Amino acid sequence: MTMEEMVAQLNKWAYEYYVLDNPSVSDVQYDALYDRLVLLEKQTGTVLPDSPTRRVGGETLKNFERHTHLKRLYSLDKAQSFGELEDWVEKVRRALGDVWFTVEIKYDGLTISVTYRDGVMTGAATRGNGVVGEDVTEQVKTIRTVPLTIPYKGVCELQGEGIMRLSVLDKYNRAHPDDPLKNARNAAAGAIRNLNPKVTAQRNLDVVFHSMGYNDNADIRSQSQLNDFFAQCGMVTNYVFRRVSTFEEIKRTIELIGSQRGSYDFLLDGVVIKVDDFALREQLGYTDKFPRWAIAYKFDAEQVTTKLCGVEWQVGRTGKLTPIGKLDPVELCGATIKRATLNNYGDIVRKRLKTDALVFVRRSNDVIPEVLGAAENGGNEIDKPDKCPACGCGLQEVGANLYCVNAEHCLPQIVARITHYCSKNACDVDGISEKTVKLLVDELGVHSVADLYTLSTDDLLKLEGFKQKKAQNVIDALNKSVHVSLAHYIYALGLDNVGAVTAKDLAARFGSVDELAKATAQQLVQIDGIGDVVADGIVQYFREPQNLEIIARLKAIGIDPKYENAVKQGAFAGKKVVLTGSLTKYTRSQAGALIEQNGGEVAATVSKSVNLVVSGADAGSKLDKARALGIQVIDEAQFEQMLCE
Ligand SMILES: [Zn+2]
């Protein structure tokens, strides 16, 4: 047997095993031939480009190189409902007449792009910002379902989703009981973005190919042909691939996928619908961030049932008690959920939640898991606490909520208030985390945010883990925080229901904390977005003597910011701007700060009064709303251009 024949045979067996899931030989037979190949390669010093020995994973890398994609990779616009999807289909029809659509599963993993030249895989990269990604060639080479060679001899970049099958995850976790992987999505992403390719190899990932970026192959003219091409290359193709022509057929396919999703051996987060014909795609073109010829349909947040084992009451900065449910651990949206919020005591009663009984738990992306309701009768009543679980003081019932009345001495309240004051969007005191606050309270008797400013480096040096430099940094950060802006300061004070946006509105309207303290509920409700509850909370806050005392002490230190209205010039002067999606070069707060520095105002939600929307990648409903209202939308490049003007 020649070396070429050995490699071809091993690759055929691997293809049968990994792609077709239909092995024709035993592992022993495979290993025997593999060992012969290794020996032969050693003797001859030759390793063919598609030799399976290239898949073991090379040396650990120091860092990821950057890879510029030959053609930009777009993210997809999203439809959250069949109504939105139907609108999209109609829009395509109006532009193109009757067309074919393809419907595929949207796998939930890490998108990668693989480059082939002259039939050989020459590189692989993560999506990154769509233009530049991280070079993960060595990692992706270890994935058996990515062919090292393909029959096509031109240049092409093919995109697929790197995934870990749920059965593989299960097997891995049974083999590593001490260090299990949390969920399949993170396991796949973590394996590909691991500097050690051997780790990638161990995780047994798959790549399911779905798109083509750059290509010089004029023979592939549609998604259907592309799908055939993937199969010819020996790649794994989408588990569901349908070519349909009506919205009804699209909907039926989505419903079918939705009804079966629980039985799939992989995670999915939706369905992708594309115009099949590539030439027609070009006619539709692109928006500044999405192709107009494709859309992702997202499934609703997932919901499961599990047992509610117990309830723990957490005390927040305003004294509010939040019930946290301890759950029988359950898989949800690819993560293991052990705790979920029950929101408040009113919800417990209304939803008839009981412990030792099954409950429905829901989680949508990024949102904390929530107990939705009881899934069966029976179980044990959840006692209504009659005193604060932290300090033992009495409780006050306000609407659906219970509050600890001991604002001054209840430890979790004190810690939460100080932590909030120091947080990024508040006074931004770098170096004071929640853990540090606990130390300050426990060891140094810090009681309120005003006490922070009495600390010296000598005090801090008494704390565990504090050396001169760290102590000095904290003192410096505190000194710096004296110059906080009014909006951040109001937010930092931690009034009930006053978020960063409301704080900004209050700052603009009243100009100083002294003026705000005098505001009546009637004046307050005239501000957009402030209702009776928020207004009453604000009025109440300034009636509490201990709050006024802290504000007076802070003022004595020099913290008494005034609203600066002076900078009303610059590119964004007089403009109300909404940021949506993620930008590549700026965080949202950085972009917001730039807009404000240039005379603009940042709003949280899109309404008629908004003048401009800056839209980054993966923008959601805000973008749709802006378009519906006819508000000007700009992308990151245009945003930067405005800054330069
Ligand atoms: Zn308490």
- Residue 569 confidence class, pLDDT cut points 50, 70, 90: low
Angle at 270 between CA 306 and CA 255, to 5 degrees: 85
189-217 confidence digits (pLDDT tens): 999 998 999 989 989 999 999 999 888 87
Could you tell me which of 345, 348, 306, 358 has the C-alpha nearest to residue 328? 306
Residue 407 confidence (pLDDT): 87
* Same domain? 194 vs 318: no
DSSP tag of 17:
I
Residue 426 confidence (pLDDT): 93
Distance 414 CA to ligand 1 centre (A): 10
Beta-bridge partners for 577: 602, 612
* Same domain? 459 vs 501: no
Distance 264 CA to ligand 1 centre (A): 47
Distance 394 CA to ligand 1 centre (A): 8
Query: How far apart, in whole angstroms, are the C-alpha atoms of residue 104 and residue 238?
Result: 6
DSSP 535-565: HHHHHHHTT-HHHHHHHHHHHHHT-------
Give the CATH number, domain containing residue 525.
1.10.150.20
Distance 492 CA to ligand 1 centre (A): 21
DSSP tag of 394:
B
Distance 412 CA to ligand 1 centre (A): 7
Q: Using an 8 Å Cβ cutoff, are 295 and 78 in contact?
A: yes
Query: How many residues would you count in the chain?
Result: 645
Query: How far apart, in whole angstroms, are the C-alpha atoms of residue 45 and residue 379?
Result: 70
pTM, to two decimals: 0.52
In a domain, 70, yes or no: no
- Residue 91 confidence class, pLDDT cut points 50, 70, 90: very high
Distance 443 CA to ligand 1 centre (A): 19
In a domain, 265, yes or no: yes
DSSP tag of 179:
S
Beta-bridge partners for 162: 110, 207
In a domain, 68, yes or no: no
Question: Buried b vs exposed e over 28-65: b needs ≥16 C-beta within 10 Å?
Answer: eebeebbeebeebbeeeeebbebbbebbebeeebeebe
pLDDT of 534 over the 70 cut: yes
Distance 488 CA to ligand 1 centre (A): 27
* Same domain? 99 vs 213: yes
Residue 566 confidence (pLDDT): 47
Domain boundary among 366, 386, 403: 403
In a domain, 65, yes or no: no
* Active site (catalytic) residues: 106
Query: How far apart, in whole angstroms, are the C-alpha atoms of residue 136 and residue 264?
Result: 27
* Same domain? 99 vs 40: no
* Same domain? 327 vs 294: no
Query: How far apart, in whole angstroms, are the C-alpha atoms of residue 525 and residue 531?
Result: 5
* Same domain? 390 vs 315: yes
Residue with more model confidence, 170 or 529: 170
248-285 confidence digits (pLDDT tens): 999 999 988 887 876 788 888 899 999 999 999 999 99
Query: How far apart, in whole angstroms, are the C-alpha atoms of residue 119 and residue 232?
Result: 13
The 3-state secondary structure of 103-162, one letter per residue: EEEEECCEEEEEEEECCEEEEEEECCCCCEEEECHHHHHCCCCCCCECCCCCEEEEEEEE
Distance 381 CA to ligand 1 centre (A): 23
In a domain, 566, yes or no: no
Residue 470: which residues within 8 A CB-CB, separation 6 or more?
431, 460
Q: Over pLDDT 70: what percentage of the chain?
A: 97
Using DSSP's 3-state secondary structure scheme, residue 83 falls into: helix
Distance 447 CA to ligand 1 centre (A): 14
Distance 413 CA to ligand 1 centre (A): 7
* Same domain? 245 vs 354: no
**Per-residue pLDDT averaged across 162-189, rounded?**
85
**Per-residue pLDDT averaged across 94-117, rounded?**
94
Distance 352 CA to ligand 1 centre (A): 26
Distance 459 CA to ligand 1 centre (A): 27
pLDDT of 486 over the 60 cut: yes
**Per-residue pLDDT averaged across 173-180, rounded?**
80
439-480 confidence digits (pLDDT tens): 999 999 999 999 999 999 999 999 988 999 999 999 999 999
Domain count, the chain: 6
* Same domain? 196 vs 250: yes
221-235 confidence digits (pLDDT tens): 999 999 999 999 999
DSSP tag of 368:
P
Distance 495 CA to ligand 1 centre (A): 17
Domain boundary among 298, 332, 355: 298
* Same domain? 183 vs 120: yes
Residue 408 confidence (pLDDT): 86
Distance 403 CA to ligand 1 centre (A): 8
* Same domain? 332 vs 384: yes
422: containing domain: 411-481
Residue 160 confidence (pLDDT): 96
* Same domain? 163 vs 100: yes
Q: Of 168-182, 442-456, 629-643, where does mean pLDDT reach its minimum?
A: 168-182
- Residue 416 confidence class, pLDDT cut points 50, 70, 90: very high
Residue with more model confidence, 372 or 514: 514
Give the CATH number, domain containing residue 282.
3.30.470.30
Q: Of 318-332, 359-373, 424-438, where does mean pLDDT reach its minimum?
A: 359-373
In a domain, 564, yes or no: no
DSSP 219-236: T--BHHHHHHHHHHTT-B
pLDDT of 567 over the 70 cut: no
Distance 393 CA to ligand 1 centre (A): 6
Q: How far is CA 519 from the centre of its chain?
A: 39
- Residue 333 confidence class, pLDDT cut points 50, 70, 90: low
Residue 125 confidence (pLDDT): 95
Mean pLDDT score of the chain, rounded to an integer? Answer: 90
Q: Of 140-144, 185-189, 451-455, 488-492, where does mean pLDDT reach its minimum?
A: 185-189
In a domain, 313, yes or no: yes
Residue 365 confidence (pLDDT): 47
**Per-residue pLDDT averaged across 25-52, rounded?**
91
In a domain, 570, yes or no: no
Domain boundary among 454, 481, 508: 481
Residue 549 confidence (pLDDT): 95
Residue with more model confidence, 143 or 58: 143
* Same domain? 166 vs 287: yes
